[in-house]
Structure 1
Amino acid sequence: MIRDLALAFRSGGGFGLGLAFFLLVAVLVPLGVGPDPATLARIAPGVLWVGAALASLLTLDRMYALDYEDGSLDLLATAPLPMEGVVAMKALAHWLVTGLPLTLASPVLALLLNLPGAGYVWLVASLALGTPALSVIGAFGAALTVGIKRGGLLLSLLVLPLYVPTLIFGAEVARRGAMGQALDTPLLLLAGISLGVAALLPFAAAFALRVNLR
């Protein structure tokens, strides 16, 4: 994981790229839909969650690419360390580089979209709870496409449909929190998705990696 973090910061392809994309989404949406505060407040949770999901998608194709190119992935596959642990650590590194900065930056960008004050805490909470699921799902998708030349488009087509439940319930938590409504159901469903993918997808991703490395 430390190696992945060092490569992400050194190459500039993770931390800065995701934040820049997230910022562009928050800046461009008001230009497209107009400056009406009521409209921006209504769409802010969905826009910010869509921006976070797409920003998380940007760097997924690099998750295993460098290790595959220099042969490190083959060594990891034959090492005593379980492949599932390798997948989990790579997903964690991706979240630390992408998901965590997006979560911390979200209140500032929510201000640009006129999100009601009551929704700030729940926006951060929903992103903190849901973005780990995006990273784990992305790790699974990247494992399916490792070794495929120009597999970025295929990876996007595979991963984006899997992002939809997390996106729906994450945005719903932020929306209900902003409106002061009960949010037990979407919050529990979002937590269930994150825990479910964290428990199951590392095994599926490890299996996919072993198949692709044969």
Structure 2
Amino acid sequence: MNFENLMRQRYSARAFLSDPVPAGILRHILDVAQKTPSWCNTQPWEVVVTESPATTAALRDKLHAHAASGAEATPDKPFPREYVGRHDERRKACGAALYNALDIGREDRDARAQQMLRNYAFFDAPHCMLVFCHESLGFYGGVDCGLYLHAFMLAALDQGVHTIAQASLAAYPDLVRAHFDIPGDRHLLFGCSFGYADERHPVNRYRTERTGIADAVRFVR
């Protein structure tokens, strides 16, 4: 695809087939993403990818059980303090569209909670990527890692591989660091589940809307 098509066709997949991404395709995607620009070419992203289904399952089972136990989230970087105004409106519209696609009623709190926990099951994706950054690099290291994640998602779609970026996977960084024996000065910023989307699943048919440039851009002449 060309760049415009990739941008217009990408969506956050929430149901995946079990088929793993072939090693050659996975490495190609990562090689393309590695071209991401960064401050002073620091290339701060330190990435862990679960390549085999067994490795993915081991992390999935541990994370899902921990989240399902009601454990308090302790992210390295604080999640948003609150959502106000248009940000809150967009967040609520996104959630409503998701639950409508899954036929989950507004008052069905149990079903909504179970759907939230699906994040920690990686939506059954065969692979998960976790992005770390040295704590000394602060905000701008995080910006560079965000650029890397976006490049990864577009490079993946170019190969027919779907993704979903997940801040939720950064909720329990100590557990993840211990699981992979990662030093404490590497902060977990976010994760990304990926694989081949189950196009027949209704959750993969809904799309979020984007505001027009008139609402996002101020032109100064």
Give the TM-score taking structure 1 as reference length: 0.24
Question: Which of structures 1 and 2 has the larger relative contact order (alpha carbons within 8 angstroms, sep 6+)?
Answer: 2
The structure that is helix-richer by fraction is 1
Return the structure number with greater strand share: 2
Give the TM-score normalised by the residue count of structure 2.
0.23
